[in-house]
Amino acid sequence: MSVQTWTYIIVGITFAIYIGIAIWARASSTKDFYVAGGGVSPLVNGMATAADWMSAASFISMAGLISFMGYDGSVYLMGWTGGYVLLALLLAPYLRKFGKFTVPDFIGDRYYSNVARTVAIVCAILISFTYVAGQMRGVGVVFARFLEIPINTGIGLGMAVVFFYAVLGGMKGITYTQVAQYTILIFAYMVPAIFISLSMTGHVFPQIGFLGHEVGTDTFLLDKLDGLHEELGFSAYTNGSKSMIDVFAITMALMVGTAGLPHVIVRFFTVPKVSDARKSAGWALLFIAILYTTAPAIAVFARTNLIHTVSNKEYKSMPEWFSKWEGAGLITFDDKNGDGKIQYVGDQAVNELKIDRDIMVLANPEIAQLPNWVIALVAAGGLAAGLSTAAGLLLVISSAISHDLIKKQLNPNISEKGELIWARIGALMAVLVAGYFGIHPPGFVAATVALAFGLAAASFFPAIVLGIFDKRMNKEGAVAGMVAGIALMFGYMAVFKLGWFVSEKPPASAWWFGISPEGFGTVAMVVNLVISLIVSRLTPPPPEDVQEIVERIRVPKGAGRAIEH
């Protein structure tokens, strides 16, 4: 059977599963809709968190990125896993004990202020929208490439499926769908990785193959790759070319940003107990680590394979996948010296081949000549990754509107039923806006992921951590810190990444402290912390009852009752 037939079958089956789960797990109360009734087991929640967390970008782009960045790609590997240590130790158990539905809930109650609540709502919506646009785009790309339908039709299909289970099931539907999606995406990621690891290094586990010899030789794979890079004039794979301070700042910004992302945090509101929130963070990191420790291995395998296949070979002798991806515009070849061979080298004046990083994972099974069903499986995995993350983000937007804005501020007397209707309307609007952004990606799409993490790092993380660990922190301090952090992050991103407000985009040499916009969240977070601490000490302490909330969330006992109010 052809790849396309296989893809229709496998994608069709997975979509039927998602819709089946949605019908089975309908939400009947707001508690179901926001936190899946608060009764999800730590293991299930860990798996759902992993699917929620691993986006289309993690699945499709990350290994490719690392493959082209070498050591510098470590920022993603450490940054997107290390944040779970912060989540487990500093946030998850306490927020679970606090026991409400959303992140703005915590900020609004802890800082006894609707101004703080509104700042949090704006951040949550801004972060989630910037992030969700990329997911819908990723879904569209997978559809377009594997089913050969137009990108926009693909986005429409994706929207329809997400709409179905997010609007119907809320968090309850999303949670159980995400478990199915995690299973599909991890299977789709590991099968080709294991195949390739076996054929290139003879090791079943890609994590071990990463350290192994190339099959039939006594050269280590990584040494081999460093050698190839040197020969072709690229910088050595295992050394990288970013400055140390920038690598440090980006890693920190991604870790702290991870811990501050509202769609990740709310997942920990769904488990029954405080101790479950801790366990759940552990499970989540385990499930994530399976993919994240495989990615660098895939990067090395794919990079070596690619160089072997193309470097100094006749253009005419290229395999079928080469011309297919050329047709999709993701590989371009320009025979500068007219010798009919591909010169793929570090020197841009001589280099004849350009390869889009996104194809490394998608084309990997083809490059390694794996069976057609494996290729189809990768397509289904990419869709699962994009849809699961999109659904989690949509829920944050929907609950920010129905719960934090309407129930908590505009119309506190709204009935349970009314709030649930608004939650569904919110989810519907969010799906439509997300789809619109997917079809018409805004100009700032390149900056979006960095912006989402930077904003989460600069706003939520300090406000939540100080809210738990500093009893003296008051609303004046928290609001001043959040506003300063966001303004600084947004301004830096606008000027240095997008070239707004200035005649031309400043060069990298003009970066403050040599830190790129991607890493600037670290600076903005420190500014937030310092301003919060100073302002809070100059203004009156928080009222007694708020100090009692802080005392209460510091002990696990009694978490079951906490959610009832």
Partner 1 sequence: MSEPNLKTYWKKNIRLLLSLLVVWFIVSFGFGILFVEQLNTIHIGGAKLGFWFAQQGAIYVFLVLIVIYIVRMHKLDKEYGVDDD
Q: How far is the CB of 47 from partner 1 (least distance, A)?
A: 15
Q: How far is the CB of 277 from partner 1 (least distance, A)?
A: 10
Q: How far is the CB of 36 from partner 1 (least distance, A)?
A: 19
Q: What one-character DSSP code corresponds to residue 341?
A: B
**Degrees (nearest 5) of the Cα angle 254, 191, 60?**
35
Residue 373, CA distances (Å) to 17, 200, 327, 376, 555 in order:
18, 21, 22, 5, 51
Q: 296 or 481: whose CB is closer to partner 1? A: 296
Residue 357, CA distances (Å) to 150, 329, 363 in order:
21, 12, 10
Q: How far is the CB of 73 from partner 1 (least distance, A)?
A: 8
Q: 7 or 294: whose CB is closer to partner 1? A: 294
Q: How far is the CB of 268 from partner 1 (least distance, A)?
A: 13
The span from the CA of 292 to the CA of 493, in Å, is: 27
Judged by phi (left if over 0) then psi (alpha if -120 to 50, else beta), residue 354 lies in beta
Intra-chain end-to-end CA distance of the chain, in Å: 57
Closest CA to 343 of 216, 219, 234, 471: 234
Q: How far is the CB of 350 from partner 1 (least distance, A)?
A: 28
Strand partners, 341: 314
Q: 167 or 255: whose CB is closer to partner 1? A: 255
Q: 252 or 464: whose CB is closer to partner 1? A: 252
Token pair, residue 427, equals 């989810």
Q: How far is the CB of 52 from partner 1 (least distance, A)?
A: 18
Q: Which runs of E-coded beta strand occur in 433-553?
A: none
Closest CA to 296 of 82, 66, 53, 54: 66
Q: 519 or 542: whose CB is closer to partner 1? A: 519
- Quickly count: other Cβ atoms within 10 Å of residue 259's Cβ: 26
Q: How far is the CB of 84 from partner 1 (least distance, A)?
A: 7
| Cβ contact 123:392 at 8 Å | no
Q: 8 or 248: whose CB is closer to partner 1? A: 248
The span from the CA of 408 to the CA of 411, in Å, is: 7
Q: 127 or 222: whose CB is closer to partner 1? A: 222
Q: How far is the CB of 409 from partner 1 (least distance, A)?
A: 31
Given the rule CB under 8 A, which residues bind partner 1?
66, 71, 73-74, 77-78, 81-82, 84-85, 88-90, 93, 207-208, 210-213, 220-223, 238, 244, 247-248, 251-252, 255, 273-275, 278-279, 281-282, 285-286, 289, 292-293, 296, 469, 551, 554-560
Token pair, residue 508, equals 């990298």
Q: 207 or 372: whose CB is closer to partner 1? A: 207
Q: 279 or 407: whose CB is closer to partner 1? A: 279
Q: 220 in helix, strand or coil? A: strand
Which of 518-551 are b and which e, b meaning 16 or more Cβ less than 10 Å from the residue's Cβ?
Answer: bbbbbbbbbbbbebbbebbeeeeebeeebeebbe
Q: 60 or 559: whose CB is closer to partner 1? A: 559
Task: Give every CB contact of residue 342 below 8 A, 6+ residues apart in sequence.
Answer: 310, 311, 312, 313, 314, 315, 318, 333, 352, 353
Residue 475, CA distances (Å) to 115, 410, 469 in order:
9, 21, 15
Q: How far is the CB of 260 from partner 1 (least distance, A)?
A: 16
Q: 425 or 470: whose CB is closer to partner 1? A: 470
Q: How far is the CB of 374 from partner 1 (least distance, A)?
A: 25
Token pair, residue 492, equals 């830096």
